[in-house]
Structure 1
Amino acid sequence: MALRRYALVGAGARAGMFIRALTEDHADVARLVALADTNPARAAAHGVDVPIYPAADVAGMLRRERVDVVLVTTVDRYHADYVVAAMEAGCDAVTEKPMAVDAASARQILISSEKTGQKARVAFNYRYHPLHEAVKTIIAGGEIGEVGSVHVEWLLDVRHGADYFRRWHREKENSGGLLVHKAGHHFDLVNWWLDDSPSQVFAAGRLFFYGENGRRHGYARDYDRAHGAPAAEGDPFALRPADEPRLRELYLETERHDGYLRDRNVFAPGVTIEDDMAVLVRYAGGASMSYHLTAYAPWEGYRVMVNGSRGRLELEVVKNDHVAPGAPGSTRLLLRPFWAPPREIPVGGSSRRGHADADDRMLADLIRPDAPPDPLGRTADARDGARALLTGLAANESLASGQAVRVKDLLDLEEIV
């Protein structure tokens, strides 16, 4: 069997997962043949013996390296550009979420896929987490009956949450904000669990904690980036890339090529995304969702409650119970049927590598042609990517207007055959 030829565009930290999968875990069916990035030193830091191309010459790379599949792990605002370029060149594409950061780009991807016959898939690794698979199985099996409503509370602690305010994600034009970049994972989960699409969205939110508000809360210090700044000494919000070998190699030692700073002060001016967001979603099938994302919590994890006509399903995941490396966590999945005692659902799965092995399982599904049939339908295509994106885009539109937003006014998926 001929090996499928892969090229990767975007050589930041997330790229390492795909590189490892292609060069080690699935080298029997796939071959990495090229990397492309705006920063040649960052691409070289991955230590892979393949040609490195400038991002401006992706078209030439696809042609010269006879690429079959393009993996896109760039800054979010460029995902659609490379996905469309890949399909127009006769390649399939796999992109990190979000698929795009605006409705026009999502539409372009869908039309290009229909026109060329090439596939565009989205790397929604949360679908492959054993807990989330269990939720899908219980709902699809009818154990709680018809779903009436879902509530999701997602907490990012002040280590993880702060990181979105140090890097390029802090600017909405790059990431779409956390309602697109981060919550896109969560919106996709609910879409997948319910096998439904959002129809109307209302949102309220603001930048409350980070950015220049840090001065009001008593956290702000006078520096722009942490590296080499005396004012950053002792600041628990400061990232020190010189102390972390992989961050030093990928970012600190390569910033001279493009000026990208990985260690911005989270309370410095220039933040244009929100850190506290509430969203109400109505789905086409009639169910509703209430969702809240907090990016400055004292612990990290999430709670999901699904209310149905025969009972209720409750999921709680504590990734760490306080802000400290190695802080303990816990998980619990509880089924509460009507007129019967609650029953805890045992769920297997390890945390050897990446999101309880969800990354590894997703990569096997995306890369291996011999992957077994999947009754849960975990592989996400371009329409799945658009549904998750549109929830976030409609929420952003609602933040700006103060009004509920009809999703099809942004992009009507039924118009695209």
Structure 2
Amino acid sequence: MSTTPPPAADGLPVLGQTLDLIRDQLGLHDAAVAEYGDVVRIRTLGVGEYCLVAHPDHVRYALVEEPDAFAKTDDFGVAFGQSIGSTEGEQWRRQRDALEEFFYPGRIRSYVDDVVRITERRVDRWRDGDRVALRDQMDRVALENFFGAVFGRELDPDGDETLQRAADDLNLWFEPTSFALPNWVPTPAHRRFHEAVETLRAEAEALLAERKRGEAGDDLLSTLVELREDGEADLSDREIVDQVTGLTFAGYETTALVLSYALYLLGTHEGVRERFHAELDDVLGGDPPTLSDVGALTTTEGVVHETLRRYPPVFMLPRVTTRPVDLGDYRLPEGMRTHVSIWRLHRDGRFWDAPDDWRPARWRDESPADRGCSFVPFGAGPRACLARRFATLEAVIALAVVGQRFRVEPLRDLELEPVMTLQPAHDLPARLRARE
């Protein structure tokens, strides 16, 4: 048993690394791990002191072997109430069991046709030579897919701006300036966040009332109501509504980011792009992709996996210790915030060949499972994302639909702006070129 605390990164008196966190969170974490090692303490005004963890063995211990010793922090609960992303113990298990009824493989298979239809509807609006914002376009694709699956609601491609804005504003709870301050500080970002939550809650409550009147569908809300009425799920109305707001944050945006980054990267890597388009032509022959095609779309799947590695939408997993624990050579006390750095894990040259290169071909002979906890874009262990297969399949299918008809020419270099998810600092402007 160790008694040695992890090393603490140098910082300013009182402020610690607060200013560095606000200016360049990723750079702060890169520098701290490079100087102090895989377990290092960071001090900030907002969240206080936290321990950054950046080694697969330590991540396996925290997420897979001893998950009960590393509970979710209260940030997500304060933001999203009693959703599965914040609950613990028996309440979490009840919610997980209910949600697993929705994310079972058979339902995922039926989802493919909807993804094709919604993505084609968006692509039908594009023309050769158009200048578009990739981020905005992929937000629309992902949000329309998400609302159909979770709310059972068809979004208007030309409308529903209020819901689109509300979904986008959920990230503001974790905006760097606000996150570096106590969450009771009424920043403009926090005010917009609370307005967004109320908008989505109102939508969810109205649709929940419809489901309770018997207007059932094949969506998540209907599934949860049906399970409760059949006595198979003990969920309150508040829990059901909170699942919707929490999943909106965790679900749609991560897919939108993967699609945005993947299209940008295909536009800047000519050799990969040519192999990607050749595969689509060979496998699909101009037909819409189906579930049976997915197994043959190995380059496309590699593009998705490699994009998740290079630019993981969820780049950090916050936890808090529930008891004293040993992590490698160090002792963490009870109540210590512990942040798993997915960003660092995915870029560590000890575990990845040429980690700074975007190489989809590295996944030809390797699956995500082969990488263990050096590749955790969806977390790991019992609390890994329930929708990970759902999200990966959606990304592969949507990329295939776009790639059959267009290639993308980025008009600006990528810059990153991490919030709670890994955002681009701008909307990724690009020129569309129709494929002949």
TM-score by length of 2: 0.27
Q: When you count helix as a share of all residues, which structure comes out higher?
A: 2
Q: When you count strand as a share of all residues, which structure comes out higher?
A: 1
Query: Highest relative contact order (Cα 8 Å, sep 6+), 1 or 2?
Result: 2
